[in-house]
Amino acid sequence: MFKAIGKQIHIIWSQIVTLWLVFLHLFKKADTVEYPDVKPYMFPRWRGRIILTRDPDGEERCVACNLCAVACPVDCISLQKTEDENGRWYPEFFRINFSRCIMCGFCEEACPTHAIQLTPDFEMAEYVRQDMVWEKEHMLIQGTGKYHDYNFYKVAGKAIGGKGKGEAQNELPPTDRRSLLP
């Protein structure tokens, strides 16, 4: 019988201690933040909303090589290559179905031109699923994103408007096909 009474006393004591500890928390600094009024700090390499960037000359970086699309494990990227009058490749459309995207960042890893990048923005919820289908105009930003200096066409051998054969980095001028001289 004494055992049972002792147990009841222990329960009551434990509740008093709990109330006391909760009371003490009134005087401690809060751990949570007032989201959305207060924004959390996101690390620069956080894998959030996907953007398309421009090269240092302000031209679209994406060359529509399709590597992001093929790297995507949920196949949520589709695009179509087209070409401007000077031979520069760019996507005619570029679509990501964010309702499928798992933010794995494989597309960014696959991108040979640093065009597609993941950003620290995670606020992508929508009421309607159809609104999670983003097109190029929704993703293309005005700047270079995380990688400031890279300009793919300055490295590639293909001639485009404003850059002829032999004018890329580390290139000799075009050879003379009518000459046999060394």
CB count in 10 Å sphere of residue 76 = 19
Burial label for 153, CB within 10 Å (0-12, 13-18, 19+), is buried
From 5-13, 19-27, 138-146, 174-182, give the range in contact with another protein by CB under 8 A: 174-182
Residues 5-44, mask of contacts with another protein (x by CB under 8 A): ----------------------------------------
Check binding of 132 to another protein (CB under 8 A): yes
Check binding of 124 to another protein (CB under 8 A): no
DSSP state of 159: -
Q: Which of residues 42-101 bind another protein (CB under 8 A)?
A: 63-67, 69-70, 72, 74-83, 89, 95-97, 99-100
- Count of residues interacting with another protein (CB under 8 A): 52
Cα gap 147→53, rounded to integer Å: 9
Minimum Å distance from CB 145 to another protein? Answer: 18
Cα gap 70→79, rounded to integer Å: 11
Distances (CA, A) of 59 to 78, 152, 156: 21, 11, 15
Cα gap 100→103, rounded to integer Å: 9
Check binding of 176 to another protein (CB under 8 A): yes
CA dihedral 103, 105, 108, 109 (to 10 degrees): -170
Would you say 140 or 159 has its CB closer to another protein? Answer: 159
Give the residues lining the site for another protein (CB under 8 A). 63-67, 69-70, 72, 74-83, 89, 95-97, 99-100, 112-113, 129-130, 132-133, 135, 152, 155-159, 165-166, 168, 170-180, 182
